[in-house]
Amino acid sequence: MKKLTAEELNRLSVDEFQEAKKHPVVIVMDNVRSLNNVGSAFRSCDAFAAEGLYLCGITGKPPHRDIRKTAIGAEDSVSWKHFPKTEEALQALKEEGYQIYALEQTDKSTSLLEFSPKADEKYAFVMGNEVFGVSDEALALCDGYLEIPQFGTKHSLNVSVTAGVVLWHYIQGILK
């Protein structure tokens, strides 16, 4: 066994990544407070070649050293937009034909295990504030609600972990 070097991994440069075809998926951060969570979301969006990351409301945006600390440069490769209100971002995504799903525990949530994304559809996944979750205003604009099954004593996952899990599930679904 030998760990591969960066050269052996044959990764794209930032410029090559920006020009490469992306998966039609956007992560929407609804008033996320932690800049480390934002940076981690950038990194996950880069890893899964997401079309973009929408930073809404109080969610921090680049340039910021705390975002860069966890993004390790992905804030330069991933396309991102800032919206003063999450509802504006969701309206724009709806107009572009995206299916919008909040990652939230509601009485109408579907288990992520039962969600099967289609390769010919565009998706946006909304991640909420670390304390309050996805806002009621944003929830009202969503097409559905997804819940990641959990088996411990806590009732939620970290926002950045949720982004990674949902992007991985999405990629698995469209590549089958």
Could you read off the pLDDT of 139-169 as tens digits, one per residue? 999 999 999 999 999 989 999 999 999 999 9
Q: Is residue 9 part of a domain?
A: no
Q: Is residue 61 part of a domain?
A: yes
Q: Is residue 4 part of a domain?
A: no
Helix axes 35-47, 159-175, angle to 10 degrees: 10
**Quick one: what percent of the chain has pLDDT higher than 90?**
95
Range of the domain at 112: 20-148+155-175
Could you read off the pLDDT of 77-101 as tens digits, one per residue? 999 999 999 999 999 999 999 999 9
Q: Is residue 164 part of a domain?
A: yes
Q: Is residue 58 part of a domain?
A: yes
CATH number of the domain bearing residue 107 = 3.40.1280.10
Q: Is residue 14 part of a domain?
A: no
176 to 43, 52, 65, 118, 173: CA distances (angstroms): 23, 22, 38, 10, 6
Q: Is residue 15 part of a domain?
A: no
CA 58 – CA 129 distance, rounded (Å): 10
Structural domain tally of the chain? 1
Q: Is residue 12 part of a domain?
A: no
29 to 9, 99, 140: CA distances (angstroms): 30, 16, 16
> So what's the pLDDT on residue 7?
86
pTM of structure: 0.97
